[in-house]
A = this chain, B = another copy of it.
Amino acid sequence: MDKVITISRQYGSGGREIGQKLADAWGIPFYDNELITRAAKESGFAEAAFESAEARANNSLLYSIARGTAHFSGQDMGFSVSNLSLDDKLYIAQAEVIRKCAAEGPCVIVGRCADYILRKRDDLVNIFVYADMEFRKERAIRIDHMEEEKIESAILKIDKRRANYHNFHTGEKWGRIENYSLCVDSGRIGTDKAAEVIRLYVESL
């Protein structure tokens, strides 16, 4: 398997778990929250600063990071880096980490607009994982210990946040079929079998 796989997923669909299963099956790296750690280490940032865009507003330091790690100059793109929001600067630093991970070889990356950030790579395969609400509720309660009360609106809120994050940073619509090579409803077959279906697709390339 010589591809870079990105997985976008609805909250509770098991997309992260499926990504881990795929990486294990292929014996390749898996990047999810590790991405934050790695970004933090490479950029000399404290991990905590990356966990929330609101956490700190140390703009001058972020500015130098964004400059130091980004391949492009903000000025070339018609904006001034110093005018970027903290959120944008974090995005730029994370994008750079994602590019480095992919450059190291085949891997599975979950979330964080990796599908868009790596769109120019020929070896890229974008996967979308989704599921019915019952499946997602059950997982949210069992795995993330989410409260049962108002769980549906809580789940939809997380999806909304993911969609907004993606749409804002990419200008493309999250969950639009054409952005992916394969979209799998994991709710009907479970995460093990969903991983098998994705594996067959990728190994058919």
Contacts and interface: CB of A to CB of B under 8 A. Distances in A.
Contacts of A183: 128, 177, 180, 182-183
Contacts of A185: 180-182
A144 interface: no
A193 B188 contact: no
A184 interface: yes
Interface stretch (A49-57, A68-76, A101-109, A196-204): A196-204
B189 A197 contact: no
Contacts of A181: 185, 188
Q: Chain B CB within 10 Å — which of A175, A182, A193, A205 has the most?
A: A182
A149 interface: no
B182 A205 contact: no
Nearest to A175: B177
Q: Would you call the interface of chain A mostly helix, strand, loop, or mixed?
A: mixed
Contact of A130 (B130, B178, B188): B178
B180 A204 contact: no
B197 A204 contact: yes
A180 B200 CA distance: 19
A201 B175 CA distance: 20
A177 B13 CA distance: 14
Contacts of A205: 188-189
Nearest to A202: B189
10 contacts: A125-B188, A130-B177, A182-B182, A182-B185, A193-B201, A193-B204, A196-B200, A197-B197, A197-B200, A200-B200
